[in-house]
Structure 1
Amino acid sequence: MADRIMQHTNDRSPAVLSWLLMWAPPTPHFRVPPGRRIAAPAGRLSRCAFGTETVLRHVLISLCAAVIAAGQVFGQTADRAESEDLAPGHTASIRVFGSGLGKVTRLWTPFAEFERTAENSADGKLSDQAAAFSGIVPADVVPGICRYRLFGNVAATGERLLVVDDLPWIAHPDGSESVASAPLLPTTCCFDGQLVAASPRFYRLTLKVGESAAVEVFARRIDSEADPVLRVLAPGGREVVFCDDTPGLSGDAQLRFTAESDGEYVLELRDVKHGGGARYGFHLRIGQFPLIRGCYPRATQPQAAINGIGDPSAVTKVQDVPDGHDFRLTFASADKTHASADTPQTGFAHGFATAAAPVAETEPNDSQETATSVAADAVAAAGRFDRPGDADWFRIPASAGTLCVTAHTRELGSPADVVLQLWNSDGKKLAESDDNGADDAQLTTKLPGNGDYFLAVTELTDGAGDDRTYDLEIDRRGRLELTFAVDVISVPQGGTAAVPLSVRRIGISEVADVHVNGLPEGIHAHALVLNEYQKSAVLTLSADEKRNTHAEITVFGRVTADSESPAEVTFPAEFRRIEDKKSPLPFRRPRITRSLFVATTSAAPFSVHPEKQLVTLTPQSEAVVGLKIRRDAKCTEPVVVAVTDPKAPQPPGITLSDVSVAGDTGELVIKAGEKTRPGTYSLDLQGTLTGDKTTLIQPVPTITLEIVRP
């Protein structure tokens, strides 16, 4: 079975694979159509806990097919990308290195799609180890870190990262393995490359006395295994400057140095542990640009006032994106001496787009008496630690009920480690939170009554500086956290894909429904209702027959909290990898990811289609749902339709008939018992076809049950 499953997985999903296999049915062979994956959207930040209890066993048993592909195309992996001329308004070439790339035909980015060029291997087939792409970068693209995916006619890969740069591009020069053969570089340039184990890269720069150069390397920020170190040697071999980790750059490095004499200066780039290999890619830029370590606030409306962290500079361009996504922005140096229209010499940063700008802390706010006031309708706040031991206080008006404050630092590039404390107006501490597992602090408490409450935000290590920022989400009515373990979904043409979803409720017991934004024409989401007893759920997507399409989508839960406050509250879903210490996944920089890539793939061997997906019942009644089975000629065995996991909590009082369909049609009988509680529920079903050597499992579009009083 493991061999069969591995046909549909890749390097980004071994932990998912090993975890799922614990629950896989004990069949000698297990074949499933291309898998699926996810992450999601909108309007606010989200950081969901993902513990061992949050995805229940019933999701895993039935959805090996759904999760196991984990975003790569039948074992395809993308280790790194090396680009040339990937600049706004230019025709770019992108070469991706990895394995299993023979079926890839296109490279997707949010701003353009790049066609694979005719670069064949010796046997005339497309290479499995490298794929080259070419296309035009729109002139209005904002430079910076950008996500990409590879896809073909089967499925799509998980999210990878590359750098769009407005500096002049050059190909990686030969001879950089030693100081003696170090290539001479232009004083303004950028390029992609790869580190080799135990062999630093060396480059030469010719400078005159008094001339300066800025150097920046992107590695950890683009999910490279490399932890880069930069070093500059003067013409005589003396070390001029050394940089390992620059605060706020996730382990990357940047530096600026000034020539003390005329001559050739040597730039050394290596991994801190002298590592190297296929996953040790980097992007190096050299010029007169400002050294930017981030922005403040890091989570805000893209067009709001944003300040750069680092060298004095001004924002020149902000990417216009919908909330729930990263945005890129460029900063121009205050010194325009070296900038031009063709070479603007900008520094890069990225932020996270939200629907509303945060309330910024205002000094002095070191006590309850001087606390920064947060409006009753404000949902976010932001601040920074200006000095060691700094404490920022916020006055938060709230009603009796659950208050949840969620901090975001590392996911947004800040090195701060936040501690949250909540106090009442009498000076009594009500709650405190440091770390929330592997995530930043999240403070949750039940407030005894209406009034003003005071939130103290401090840095655990007393660290300070303009880069030690924090962003806070403030949920006064509780919080619903939805999490996906995969970020790509492959939907079979004419069939259905299932997306496992974990559910965590914080002070919210109301029924929630799940919605999807951005679906392309030809792919449809089925209604999904989350009841108070559910810790997991299944979102199903179906595709039209013979439909080739793809898109990035977002998923969110919607709650109407209570009759007194009927306004709807939405909570975005978020991608969270399942980590496994025994099978470590490739490095991935902590970040908030909600973009879920969905693409159609070839038809599944069989599929199950209920004739109606909304069933209304009263207690002590039953309904019959017709089932249509579409199958390949080779799939002649009966298809058994049942709940995904009988051990998972089902709608109380609901029973289903046993269904085994030998032909093309069948019937499912749904009965509501005497004690069935009125409400709306979702049925998670699957179809199973067992042959002599192979078991096939396909999800069934979700059926919504509406139980009403007689």
Structure 2
Amino acid sequence: MLRLRLLRLMVPLFVAMLWTGTVLAESKISFRQLTRTFPVAVQRGSTTEVQISSNFSLNESHTTFFVPPGPSMDFAESQNKPDEWSDPEETDIGTPFRFRVRVPDDQAPGVYEYRVATQQSVSSVGHLLITDHPVTVEGEAVNDTRDTAQSIRVPAAVCGTIEDFEDVDYYRIAGTAGQDLVCQIFAQRVTRAIHTMAIRYPKIHLMDSMLTLFGPDGRIIAQNDNFVGGDAMLHVRLPVTGHYVLEVRDTRYAGDPRYVYCVEVSHDPLAFGTRPLALAATQDIDVVLSRPENTPLGAAALVSTDSDPSNRVRVNLVNDGQPALDAKRYRNRLIRGLFESGRATNPVPLLVSSRPQIVATDDRGTDNPRPISLPVGISGYFTGPNQTHAFQFAGKQNAYYLFEVDSRRRGLAVDSVLTIFDTAGKELASNDDGYFTKDAKLYFQAPADGDFVVTVRDLNGRSGDRFAYHLTAEPSGPDFEVHGEYYYGMLSPGGQAIWFVRLKRLNGFKGAVEMRATGLPQGVSFTPVTIPPGMNHCSLIFSAAMDAPINASLVRVSGRSAVPRANGETVQVERQAHVTAELRRAGASRFYRAPIKTQLLAVTKPLDLTRVTAKPDELTLPRGGKTTITVRIERSAEYSDQVLIDMAFSFFSTKYGEQLPAGVTMSAASETKLTDADLEATIVLEATDQALLVERLPVAALARVPITYSIMTNYASNPMYLTVTPK
């Protein structure tokens, strides 16, 4: 009875603690899985509240990071919300938390990536659209028929949700005959890196939007499915004065609370590029903004270039206050034109460089290629169906050359194919898609001295105003790319975190690569590591001082090396890491990836494992021999479940992150699981007779806490230094 009385007293006390903002110690601590931002757009120059939903709590959020920088976002809940752990289902959107967003007046419109750091953890990726237009939120009243359409005023950024299967949203717009009406939806672009978008197995994930405009008489005026990816856009000239209705839906009639969207509605045409797409950094030039492809050229909304420069932008690329350009690099600059009304267009990217830039012409096909000297940048436009642009360059035997198309990554439409021919017309090399993009990229090694032809075409032979591309053509050589597992990490004071690098060696590159990690949180240090020749991976080990404060920062990982070039020259290069986010898709496909921009590392409150230590600090392993590591963990009082011990970032039999040199493996005699009160395990490393020789290579033992079926939190031991010696 006493026990029962205590329980009766404890339950209301527990509930009271939750609702008065007291935070109880957490167990099974994971990164925070952001699922939904609503409304998903904020007008620049404004301060407003949004709700961010998350699987796992955002209580005690202290910092939010935006890329590009500028906006700020603060936790706006007056007290902490109840926080009870549960294994999220694929359809869960978690708990909503209020945040207050402030956007500067001069912030450029566009989709921004953001991350949240709490005192206990860090978040996955979220997206927020910064817009020029006043934000209108889908109302509570029913708007799922044309008769019940919600009235909006133009211009507007209409934020809504296709929240269930067969949901359709309607909006009523007053229009005048002769007006241009432009409707552009942001749906996939503001959810593409959400961690969990498993709507229905096997293939329904991101929203595939469709926009339909009905006239005053109920007939369809215009309809569009895909414009940028699966995001639709309409640009029409209204035929009569009256009330029009805009329909927003998924093409498959799919829906989910995570299907948030913003439709920008205005009377101004949409600028989607420049002509040319790139300029030499020493030029002052007018850039003409492209018109939407479903608007006739010469439309009154954009006056003629010859009669009025209102659709031109004068870009001074020398004295604009921007940093000086490296002659070997390109840089994106956002520019805006002015309409006759004085309003600015949406920003469009312009590539600037000190390299020569030319414009392709349609009369130079494979039978009449245009001679070019490398390096050069080429802006091209497909103005008719089935066009191919061809360029002839001189190559030297065994020399490497790089050709890279930029179109889809700029919101343009070319699905590019690059092909290299010799002068007899024999195909020597070809490429269709690049890294997470339809933009082609091709390294070519010339088999002999002589002339070669590189061609660019659209995969499906399409053409039009948006079928524009920029081609980079330049000498190349041995090089490398940095990939890996490093998009978030947590460590408590006195603890360690570990990321993994995977090196992609290009064009015969065999050199050592020094890894760098900059922008670390206060109180965190990075163990220097160099990937030696013969090795293509390593670990990045971070350590927090015992007195490190709770804080977080965006970290940048890069690799630096001396690479050989023509004529025996050596060039120092630094390559920024390609960053991807892990996405959960239906069917437990854990390691689907999407490219992102941010790497977030944080010092947090104590985690499930308060310490992981490994001995000895110095590991000497002879070829053909073995060595033993003793790993010891300290658990928090709240966590008593299993802990997995490893030397690699594994999921079942697949290794996604490795750190041991070739020929060194973890023996089957190793202890790989600690359960209940177990605190100590033994790892046995063994080397083959041909193991790669390394000297003091930093490695760490992994201790992994399972959170869900597919998610684990990685902990690392102190750095150990591995030396592999001859027999």
- TM (norm. structure 1) is 0.71
Aligned match of 1:387 in 384, 387, 409? 384
1:115 is paired with a residue of what secondary structure?
Answer: strand
Q: Given that residues 583 and 591 in structure 2 are in contact (C-alpha distance below 8 angstroms), is that contact kept between their aligned partners in structure 1?
A: no
Aligned match of 2:131 in 156, 165, 177? 165
Structure 2 letter corresponding to 1:331? R
Aligned match of 1:253 in 200, 215, 232? 232
Q: CA separation in 2, counterparts of 1:628 and 1:149? A: 33
Give matches, 1:472-487, under 5 Å.
472=471, 476-485=476-485, 487=487
C-alpha offsets along residues 541-578 of structure 1, whole Å, 9 cap, x if unaligned? 22333322222232222231249222112333213456
Structure 1 letter corresponding to 2:467? R
1:331 aligns with 2:313: no
Residue 82 of structure 1: CA displacement? 0.7
Residue 130 of structure 1: CA displacement? 1.2
Residue 656 of structure 1: CA displacement? 11
Alpha carbons of structure 1 residues 391 and 498: separation in structure 2 relative to 1, 3 Å: same
Aligned match of 2:182 in 201, 214, 217? 214
Alpha carbons of structure 1 residues 667 and 488: separation in structure 2 relative to 1, 3 Å: closer
Alpha carbons of structure 1 residues 680 and 296: separation in structure 2 relative to 1, 3 Å: farther
Alpha carbons of structure 1 residues 421 and 102: separation in structure 2 relative to 1, 3 Å: closer
Q: CA separation in 1, counterparts of 2:255 and 2:382? A: 36
Q: CA separation in 2, counterparts of 1:482 and 1:295? A: 31
Q: CA separation in 1, counterparts of 2:600 and 2:279? A: 24
After TM superposition, the structure 1 stretch with the greater mean CA deviation from structure 2, 433-442 or 174-183, is: 433-442
Aligned match of 2:603 in 575, 600, 604? 600
Q: CA separation in 2, counterparts of 1:453 and 1:680? A: 45
1:203 aligns with 2:182: no
Q: Given that residues 296 and 309 in structure 1 are in contact (C-alpha distance below 8 angstroms), is that contact kept between their aligned partners in structure 2?
A: yes
Aligned match of 1:228 in 195, 209, 215? 209
In the other structure, the counterpart of 1:39 is: none
C-alpha offsets along residues 639-678 of structure 1, whole Å, 9 cap, x if unaligned? 9998559997955799999999x9x999999999999987
Aligned match of 1:177 in 144, 147, 152? 144
In the other structure, the counterpart of 1:3 is: none
In the other structure, the counterpart of 1:571 is: 575
Share of identical aligned residues, percent? 18
Q: CA separation in 2, counterparts of 1:586 and 1:217? A: 29
In the other structure, the counterpart of 1:698 is: 715
Residue 168 of structure 1: CA displacement? 2.1
1:583 aligns with 2:597: no
Structure 2 letter corresponding to 1:550? A
1:346 is paired with a residue of what secondary structure?
Answer: coil
Q: CA separation in 2, counterparts of 1:329 and 1:645? A: 39
In the other structure, the counterpart of 1:131 is: 97
1:266 aligns with 2:229: no
Give ranges in structure 1 of 5+ residues lacking alignment.
Answer: 1-30, 35-68
Residue 282 of structure 1: CA displacement? 0.8
Q: CA separation in 2, counterparts of 1:298 and 1:591? A: 26
Q: Given that residues 616 and 708 in structure 1 are in contact (C-alpha distance below 8 angstroms), is that contact kept between their aligned partners in structure 2?
A: no
Q: Given that residues 420 and 442 in structure 1 are in contact (C-alpha distance below 8 angstroms), is that contact kept between their aligned partners in structure 2?
A: yes
Q: CA separation in 2, counterparts of 1:260 and 1:618? A: 80
Q: Given that residues 59 and 81 in structure 2 are in contact (C-alpha distance below 8 angstroms), is that contact kept between their aligned partners in structure 1?
A: no
Structure 1 letter corresponding to 2:543? S
In the other structure, the counterpart of 1:489 is: 489
In the other structure, the counterpart of 1:551 is: 553
Q: CA separation in 1, counterparts of 2:55 and 2:696? A: 43
Alpha carbons of structure 1 residues 153 and 475: separation in structure 2 relative to 1, 3 Å: farther
2:606 is paired with a residue of what secondary structure?
Answer: coil
Residue 281 of structure 1: CA displacement? 0.8
In the other structure, the counterpart of 2:697 is: 682
Q: CA separation in 2, counterparts of 1:627 and 1:140? A: 56
1:285 is paired with a residue of what secondary structure?
Answer: strand
1:118 is paired with a residue of what secondary structure?
Answer: coil
C-alpha root-mean-square deviation of aligned residues, in Å? 5.3
Give matches, 1:349-388, under 5 Å.
349=348, 359-363=357-361, 364-367=363-366, 370-371=369-370, 373-376=372-375, 383-388=380-385
In the other structure, the counterpart of 1:531 is: 532
Structure 2 letter corresponding to 1:568? Q
In the other structure, the counterpart of 1:187 is: 154
1:221 is paired with a residue of what secondary structure?
Answer: helix
In the other structure, the counterpart of 1:146 is: 112
In the other structure, the counterpart of 2:225 is: 244
In the other structure, the counterpart of 2:421 is: 423
Q: Given that residues 404 and 479 in structure 1 are in contact (C-alpha distance below 8 angstroms), is that contact kept between their aligned partners in structure 2?
A: no
Alpha carbons of structure 1 residues 439 and 218: separation in structure 2 relative to 1, 3 Å: closer
After TM superposition, the structure 1 stretch with the greater mean CA deviation from structure 2, 205-214 or 403-412, is: 403-412
Q: CA separation in 2, counterparts of 1:307 and 1:132? A: 42
Alpha carbons of structure 1 residues 453 and 577: separation in structure 2 relative to 1, 3 Å: farther
Residue 708 of structure 1: CA displacement? 11
Q: CA separation in 2, counterparts of 1:653 and 1:199? A: 56
Q: CA separation in 2, counterparts of 1:452 and 1:561? A: 26
* Structure of higher RCO (CA pairs closer than 8 Å, 6+ residues apart): 1
Q: CA separation in 2, counterparts of 1:552 and 1:92? A: 24
Residue 431 of structure 1: CA displacement? 1.8
In the other structure, the counterpart of 1:310 is: 291
Residue 478 of structure 1: CA displacement? 3.2
After TM superposition, the structure 1 stretch with the greater mean CA deviation from structure 2, 187-196 or 624-633, is: 624-633
Q: CA separation in 2, counterparts of 1:169 and 1:302? A: 37
Alpha carbons of structure 1 residues 645 and 283: separation in structure 2 relative to 1, 3 Å: closer
Alpha carbons of structure 1 residues 102 and 406: separation in structure 2 relative to 1, 3 Å: same
Structure 2 letter corresponding to 1:155? S
- TM (norm. structure 2) is 0.70
Q: Given that residues 93 and 135 in structure 1 are in contact (C-alpha distance below 8 angstroms), is that contact kept between their aligned partners in structure 2?
A: yes
Q: CA separation in 2, counterparts of 1:230 and 1:88? A: 25
Q: Which has the larger radius of gyration?
A: 2
Alpha carbons of structure 1 residues 177 and 490: separation in structure 2 relative to 1, 3 Å: same
Alpha carbons of structure 1 residues 685 and 123: separation in structure 2 relative to 1, 3 Å: closer
Residue 131 of structure 1: CA displacement? 1.4
Q: CA separation in 1, counterparts of 2:180 and 2:713? A: 64
Structure 2 letter corresponding to 1:583? G
Q: Given that residues 296 and 469 in structure 1 are in contact (C-alpha distance below 8 angstroms), is that contact kept between their aligned partners in structure 2?
A: no
Structure 2 letter corresponding to 1:169? V
Q: CA separation in 2, counterparts of 1:618 and 1:689? A: 25
Structure 2 letter corresponding to 1:134? R
Q: Given that residues 185 and 232 in structure 2 are in contact (C-alpha distance below 8 angstroms), is that contact kept between their aligned partners in structure 1?
A: yes
Q: Given that residues 369 and 453 in structure 2 are in contact (C-alpha distance below 8 angstroms), is that contact kept between their aligned partners in structure 1?
A: no
Structure 2 letter corresponding to 1:335? E
Structure 2 letter corresponding to 1:162? L
Structure 2 letter corresponding to 1:236? D
C-alpha offsets along residues 255-306 of structure 1, whole Å, 9 cap, x if unaligned? 2334433322222222212222212111122222221335567789999976
Structure 2 letter corresponding to 1:252? D
C-alpha offsets along residues 326-348 of structure 1, whole Å, 9 cap, x if unaligned? 97846345331xx5xxxx45324
2:189 is paired with a residue of what secondary structure?
Answer: helix
Q: CA separation in 1, counterparts of 2:150 and 2:591? A: 30
Q: CA separation in 2, counterparts of 1:189 and 1:636? A: 53
Residue 391 of structure 1: CA displacement? 2.1
Q: Given that residues 573 and 594 in structure 1 are in contact (C-alpha distance below 8 angstroms), is that contact kept between their aligned partners in structure 2?
A: no
Alpha carbons of structure 1 residues 482 and 702: separation in structure 2 relative to 1, 3 Å: farther
Q: Given that residues 517 and 555 in structure 1 are in contact (C-alpha distance below 8 angstroms), is that contact kept between their aligned partners in structure 2?
A: yes
C-alpha offsets along residues 513-533 of structure 1, whole Å, 9 cap, x if unaligned? 222233343333322322343
Q: CA separation in 2, counterparts of 1:688 and 1:238? A: 63
In the other structure, the counterpart of 1:44 is: none
Give matches, 1:61-76, under 5 Å.
72-73=31-32, 76=33
Q: CA separation in 1, counterparts of 2:494 and 2:27? A: 15
